[in-house]
Amino acid sequence: MNQYLEFAIQLAEQLKGQTSTNPSVGAVIVKDNRIIGFGAHLKKGEAHAEIQALNMAGKEAEGATIYVSLEPCSHYGLTPPCSKAIIESGISRVEYAVKDGSLSKSGHDMLEEAGVEVIHSPSSRAEELYKEFFIQQKKKTPFVTLKISTSLDGKVATDFKESKWITCKAVKEDVLHLRSENDAIITGGGTVREDNPLLTSRKPNFKEPKRIVLSQQSSFDEDLQIFKDRDNPAILVTNHPNFEIKDTQNIELYKSDLSNLENMLQLLYKLGYASVLVEAGPTLVSQFIEQDLADQLIIYQAPKVIGGQGKYQFYQTNDVYPLSKIKQFKFISTEIIDEDLKLILRK
């Protein structure tokens, strides 16, 4: 792969999870084998990667090549089309890694019609980066990842409710990074009451994911730390008609039918959340799987056998299916993290 296109993809990867329903994009401008401008899309509504790179390059952009991780856009949204800006800058050549099937008019065609040389250089690495974006664009609901930390026998806790810590310290660090790559984290009211989690990424200079709690109860205790964050109020989605918010709690309240999680996901997408990480107990995890709403599973498996009655098996259902009708996922990757195994699976 061209080194400059690879750099553009690296820039896009670094900002994954920061651009809401927009794709994360990187751009690099090169003239006479010298980088004269580069940029990355930092936040929805702000300048796209191509515009940042053009601003850095200035008048030198004329006659240069721009390398972009994703096909330049051709439509007016919160910002003007990048293809138009590229044409006006005098850029003579565009090379990009992934074609954007969500565009109503091809940026590739728009550039070629203006006399710009355009090259599509497919990249499996970039295709992987944009897989989530294309799925959520098609469904109009967030890309849903279930994060599960489990023993070899599929337990997320002992029958005594002990769950800290089944997996190793290195896994905790990986989970913090995973959180930073998602717009929001979904958990259940039971997990909030039992574990009192913060559910933050603690990643400097990155926006914290929104914490979203699903609950059918009428209230929460005042001392739960997830509701005390003044800078990043938690979202509470409930179907309780008279939920009570206490004065000390920083909560954004929304109503939704929690028996049908797709309704809740449609609400979150309208609010601008394109990717969600579900960190919850077996009841909510099983509900996502049963309703066929999990796009991806990330399972951290410790080399431990917990045993017991199966009360805390990560997937629980009373339904019994023949093998021909069971829910099937595909292995995407496996990785050893210290002493534990990380599995990524998709539908």
- pLDDT-based confidence at residue 18 (cuts at 50, 70, 90): confident
243-252 long-range Cβ contacts below 8 angstroms, 24+ apart: 243/215, 243/217, 243/218, 243/219, 244/218, 244/219, 245/219, 246/219, 246/220, 246/222, 248/222, 249/220, 249/222, 249/224, 251/227
* Cβ(327)–Cβ(289) below 8 Å: yes
Q: Binding residue per annotation — 48?
A: yes
Consult the annotation and say whether 199 binds a ligand: yes
Determine the residue type at 210: K
> Is a pLDDT exceeding 80 seen at residue 205?
no
Average pLDDT score over the chain: 91
Candidates 235, 229, 173; CA nearest to 198 is 229
Q: Does 279 appear as a known binding residue?
A: yes
The DSSP-derived string for 136-194 is HHHHSS-EEEEEEEE-TTSBSS-TT---TTSS-HHHHHHHHHHHHTSSEEEEEHHHHHH
Asked if 112 is an active-site residue, the reply is: no
The Cα–Cα gap between 320 and 40 comes to 48
247 is in an annotated binding site: no
Which is more confidently placed, 347 or 205? 347
For position 311, what pLDDT does the model report? 84
Q: Give the pLDDT confidence of 158-194 residue by residue, as tens digits.
A: 888 778 889 999 999 999 999 999 999 999 998 998 8
Which amino acid appears at position 293 of this protein? L
Instruction: Single out the residue of 259, 323, 324, 328 nearest to residue 291, CA to CA.
Output: 259
* pLDDT for residue 219: 76
**Closest by Cα among 268, 261, 258 to 235:** 268
For the full predicted model, state whether its pTM sits above 0.75. Answer: yes
Nearest CA to 333 out of 299, 307, 308, 310 is that of: 299
Q: What backbone phi and psi angles, to 5 degrees, belong to 255?
A: -105, 135
Task: Indicate which residue of 6, 50, 95, 181 is catalytic.
Answer: 50
pLDDT score, position 264: 95
Looking at the chain, how many residues does it have? 347
Query: Any known ligand binding at 193?
Result: no
Residue 3 is predicted with a pLDDT of 95
Verify cis geometry, omega within 30 degrees of 0, for the bond prior to 165.
yes
Average pLDDT over residues 318-327: 84
Contact of 37 with 53, CB cutoff 8 Å: yes
Tell how far CA 138 is from the center of its chain.
15
In the chain, alpha helices (H): 3-14, 49-57, 82-89, 107-113, 124-139, 169-180, 189-195, 261-270, 282-290
Residues 224-242: tens digit of each pLDDT: 888 888 888 899 998 888 7
Is 191 within any annotated ligand binding site?
yes
Q: Is 195 annotated in some ligand binding site? A: yes
Domains of the chain from N-terminus onward: 3-130 (3.40.140.10), 140-346 (3.40.430.10)
Q: Which pLDDT value is given to residue 117?
A: 97
Q: Which residues contact 20 (CB under 8 A, 6 or more apart)?
A: 43, 44, 183, 272, 273, 274
> Is 82 assigned a ligand-binding role in the annotation?
yes
What pLDDT does residue 257 have? Answer: 87
pLDDT tens-digit series, residues 79-105:
788 999 999 999 999 999 999 987 778
Residue 335 has pLDDT above 90, yes or no: yes
- In this predicted structure, the answer to whether residue 207 has a pLDDT above a threshold of 80 is no
Residue with tokens 């329903």: 21
How far apart (Å, rounded) are the C-alpha atoms in residues 63 and 92?
A: 5
